[in-house]
Amino acid sequence: METNKSEIKEKIRAFWDNSHQNYDAVAAHGVHSESEKVMWRQGMTKLLGPAGPEKNLTVLDIGTGTGFLALLLAEMGYNVTGADWAASKISQAKEKAASSNSPARFEVQDAEKLTLESNAFDAVVSRHVIWTLSDPYAAAREWVRVIKPGGKVIVDIPRMGSHSGSHHFGAEIGKNLPFYNGADREKVEEMLKSAGLSNIGTLMLETSGDDEKKTLLIYGEKI
């Protein structure tokens, strides 16, 4: 029997809410070396511009998980809100923020239907997220809605590789997720364009040294 959209979304939410205690140890869920941290710092500075109290650049981190990217952006000086549908992950992110005296804020949100004001953020960043969405195109439209004119939406391209398939949601759910088995650059660019973004571009993030890692970011601007 065909699984309906609400059932799919609820199963995905429950999966992340109940995900194992080793969540942060998974390669895609955090920063695991200093060179990886430097990679993200450099990439975000290049795409968002330098941060600082006088600029008050506001960033929404969609699919924040336990908050690694939101906390890093806050450390850099951005005004950050981390959002995730899994309440347990938001609780963990809040605990991390409290223990490190981070100003980052965290709240439960549905990436495809945000309860946030329009034109509220300078940027939306979405990492390791679009492959988990039942309607990534609707999500992209929401992300465009909440950024200011001149703001950016930044997403990564999922390269599922060794962590694809039943390791996550299983084939029955996965077949209903457009990017479950990965997405090529052209498809993600088209998604951003169809959501209303212009000046589409890419940035390859790379670490140096023995722990070489690469992440391709695709971004667009709200005109």
**pLDDT value, residue 211:** 63
- Is the pLDDT at 192 greater than 90, yes or no? yes
Question: pLDDT higher for 170 or 150?
Answer: 150
Listing DSSP states for 159-218 in one string gives --GGG-GGGTT-HHHHTT-TTTT---HHHHHHHHHHTT-EEEEEEEEE--STT--EEEEE
**pLDDT value, residue 21:** 61
- CATH pick for 5-221 out of 3.40.630.30, 3.40.250.10, 3.20.20.450, 3.40.50.150: 3.40.50.150
Question: pLDDT higher for 17 or 80?
Answer: 80
- Is the pLDDT at 70 greater than 70, yes or no? yes
**pLDDT value, residue 98:** 98
- Give the DSSP H/E element, type plus range, for residue 156: strand 147-156
**pLDDT value, residue 135:** 93
